[in-house]
Chains A and B, each alone.
Chain A
Amino acid sequence: MTPRIGQSRERLAQLMSTPVRRKYFETLLRMLGPSGLVSIREEQFFLVLAIAIGILAGFCVVLFRIAIAEARLWLLGSSMHPSAPRVVLVPAAMGLVIAVLAVRFFPRVRGSGVNQTKGALYIYDGYISAETVVGKFVLSALAIGSGQSLGPEDPALQIGAGVASALGRWLKLSKERLRLVTPVGAAAGLAAAFNAPITAVLFVTEEVIGRWSAGILGAVVLSAISSVVVERWFMGDEPLFRVPLYHLDHAGELVAYAVLGVVGGVASLVFVKVIKHLRPRLRSLPQWSQYVQPGVAGLLIGIIAIWYPQVMGAGYEWMDLAMHNRFPWELLGIIAGLKLVSTALSFATGTPGGLFAPVVFMGAMLGAAVAMAEQMLFPAFAVPVGAYALVGMGALFAGVLRAPMTSVFMILEVSGNYSIILPVILCNTISYVISRGFQPVPLFDLLSRQDGLDLPSLEEERGQTALLVEDAMHPSKVRALRGDETIRSAREVVAGGGEEAFLVSLGEGRWSVLGREALADPATDDGLAVRVLVRARVPRLYQDQSLEVALRFIKDRPMLPVVHRDNLDLLMGVVSVEDILGAYRRAGLPEPETTESS
């Protein structure tokens, strides 16, 4: 390939005879690099690749959504109220088919796509098999289309991650980049499924990557944006829900919203506890039962759906109706409760599909129910049902999935309505606090531990006490030496002490460490400045930095200076390895849990 490109370049050079043409040609040559080939750093290429991943994941998610809709039409018919025999038989029969396919051919499609993506990132070096992606696509479409109470977002996330993984392997990315490519694809998949790029970026950062990393953020953002562009290109750019603009007329309204926060928190807690207890019990049943469990779940859901068809599938169409006063509050409450049961059944039996849509469904129903109940109790009080339903979605999302920032932005993005932010923040916080207070381990961590995996969790990191440099540092017994003072003066300063090393301030925030031996060397002229003895500089620390940073910098140095941020030559204290270890010992931090205790 290279010689041919070279020949072409020579031929081109001959063609570029005029000065103007030559100028452009020379620019092109510079761009092509010294060896005549494009040379870019991998992280730059990674950003370009992120766009390609976003586009491909966008295609996949669009096709996935159509597959779900087609499956629904094929299996349940076009009406919003399918006939009773169909409602009972289809989810049960398809449950059996899905179980056989899942157990025999696609064993990795069961369970949470979020955790599997996280597992790919932390355990399998970014590897998600093609058969998992295909299985997730087909089986999730069949499951959701046949009325199992699950949503498309979680599978979309894993499909996106799978596409990214396949692309990364095909392009022979380095191991480090291959590992990082899965969250990039996951963000693209989720963004396209929710039509919400910010939500996807935040969720992937909070739940999949588990930490804020500048190195990958750019790629995640680019992939999310490109996939949403693709999704909107094909499916339109209307927000998922349309509700009238909300106006907070009086601060007292927030009290009414707080009630919803409490209801949402309790409902989240109940849902997580049900999943927590039901899933391991069903998994502990004999192996043959794995073939029938999704079918039984489908049958039960079908029976419920004879009277309450709202529990079937993702249920977005019903959420829209609930936001527009379509159902009385009692019915909304019943639907929310039955959806909880149906979703727990579908998910705990290992039917492929996600929890996002059912969770926001429950939130919408509860929100609308609370609004209508408040309206009934206080008729003079104007209660916007649509706004409550939206806020309810956020409350459940924050409580169940425990991604508080994502939950706020999700509501803003799916409604295109910024005016609702205050109630959303309030309710989400209340719901999050209640859920966290009574269920310390978040749902996704719980699921991964039930699957025998222990994946890092940002949620748990939030709960951990971060030790700072100020917790370990101590004042220096000897004043810091100055680089411009004489060695003689320095020897006088350190004389009599037992320290083996001393800090030297070189001015302008530069510091070094000098050993007693070097300072006391009689061969050195004591009239010279201390600076001449300095071999290398050492990094400085600040009191508010974490001890992890200090540990990373200290290496084999005897100590590091802790300085004032406002005056980099002002020594506040010193830190040594012993100080750092001592601080960790004193803090007595709990050891990380490996299993969830009931």
Chain B
Amino acid sequence: MEAGGKHGTGMSKETANCAVCGQSLGEDGRCRRCDGNSHVWTIQDWRPLLTLGLVIVLGFSFTRLVVNGFDAKRKVLAGQYYGAGLGAMTAGHPAEAVDDFETALLYSRDNFQYRLKLTDALLASGATGEALSQLHAFREQRPADAQVNLKLARLEAQRQHVDEALHYYQNATEGVWPEGSDPVAQRIGVRLEEAEYLVRLGRQEQAEERLMALAAALPASSPEQGRLGDLFLRNGDPGRALSAYQAELKLERDSDAAILGAAQASFAAGSYATARRYLVELRTETPESHALLEQIERMEALDPFARSATGTVRTERTMAAFRIAVDRLAGCGVPFAQALSRGEKIVSAAGPAQWSEFAKWAEQLSPMMSERRLRGRDDVIESTMRFVFQAEMAAQKDCGKPALNDEALLLLARERLGAN
């Protein structure tokens, strides 16, 4: 290859045409179309171009070779540091894990999993601001990524930014999950988490809405039925909770957790007999189940209206309930109840006005509190128990936490009167 000198070189003198564009040349020997000062390149020897092409091919191959080797090395290093980071997290050293994950990212900058783990480590080490910044940066890149949205939701929930948290939970529910994971299961998990967050916040209506939608979407065979039951129960819907537990029990008949949940749901729904039946089925007793069973037994022991109760038992239970209610009021400083506890005469007008009706009622009932006088007097038993229930309910408002027996009476009151 060589430069052919000034423009016009390489042209035929007979035709006086430009070698570049073929136009006729002017009087000065220059082409009117082309720039007169241009050099003309005539490729008479292809070797330089071929050599250049060869150099590029060789350069490409060599660079590829070097880059491959280097990438492999980086991958190994990244894996090592990532492993060390996971180890540090497991060992409860999030600060060390942060360093390790950051170094892993130095060698594998685009590894999304490493970045997510880094945010976990940052959160664990208290660097919320940086974790949030990282997550927002990820979200810019992958707005539909469910993992990122879920982490953001958790972080915003932690920061008590409820609206933002719910927004990200929603995005996570609709987002894209990584290949290899079960997206349906993941979405159910997110919805359960969101519902749990709402239950924790006490947003009963929103939570109920989410839970009902979830109940409709959740297959009967889902292992998450128990968790759904827990959430319904915590959200004050024992009926649906019981259905969920029963669905889980169909899958796993011996699940103690599901049995206990069903018992609690039945208990909360006022089906104490059903609750007792579930509790009896438990293979392993837990403090929770034990306390629940005791409470049911206590209720049974104080219930004069139980079908199995004989006349004597009914009178005994009525008298015991009256005594417990009076003691509860006495403990609360109600004068008539204190007087009654001490065996003194009741002065109904004494004390605060709110207790005066109770004092009059108690004044009428107290002489009847003997086995002989109560026997066959269902009307007095009925009236006494109404007094007991109302006194317990009034005391619940004004006199603090009830004792176990008072609680049992309150539950009986709820069962009989339908009151909370």
Contact = CB atoms under 8 A, between A and B. Distances in A.
A148 to B, nearest CB: 19
B136 to A, nearest CB: 4
B43 A38 contact: yes
A63 B63 contact: yes
Nearest to A238: B110
Interface stretch (B32-40, B204-212, B259-267, B371-379): B32-40
B140 A38 contact: no
Interface residues of A, number: 51
Given A56-B55, A79-B103, A325 B40 contact: no
A434 B55 CA distance: 48
Chain B interface size range: 35 or more
Given A41-B38, A56-B56, A244 B45 contact: no
Nearest to B139: A244
B63 A234 contact: yes
Interface in B52-76: 52, 55-56, 59-60, 62-64, 66-67, 70, 73
B327 to A, nearest CB: 55
B140 A66 contact: no
B214 interface: no
A40 interface: yes
B403 interface: no
Contacts, number: 130
A42 B3 contact: yes
A321 interface: yes
Interface string B238-269: 00000000000000000000000000000000
B202 interface: no
Contact of A172 (B3, B43, B77, B109): B3
Interface in A17-66: 33-35, 37-45, 52, 55-56, 59, 62-63, 66
Nearest to A69: B70
Contacts of B287: none
A227 to B, nearest CB: 12
Given A59-B60, A80-B102, A172-B3, A39 B41 contact: yes
Interface string A195-217: 00000000000000000000000
B99 interface: yes
A324 interface: yes
A37 B45 CA distance: 9
Contacts of A81: 99
A41 B137 contact: no
B63 A321 contact: no
A39 B67 contact: no
A243 interface: yes
Interface stretch (B127-135, B222-230, B272-280, B342-350): B127-135
Given A39-B41, A45-B41, A244-B137, A52 B19 contact: no
Given A170-B48, A385-B133, A62 B38 contact: no
Contact of B67 (A34, A52, A66, A326): A66
A111 to B, nearest CB: 28
A242 B141 contact: yes
Given A242-B141, A244-B133, A317-B106, A59 B99 contact: no
A316 B39 CA distance: 45
A2 interface: yes
B332 interface: no
Contacts of A326: 127, 130
Contact of B43 (A37, A63, A78, A325): A37
B99 A42 contact: no
A323 interface: yes
Contacts of A581: none
B136 A244 contact: yes
19 contacts: A1-B47, A33-B19, A35-B42, A39-B19, A39-B43, A40-B20, A40-B41, A66-B66, A66-B70, A80-B99, A172-B2, A172-B3, A177-B39, A238-B109, A317-B106, A321-B102, A324-B130, A324-B134, A324-B137
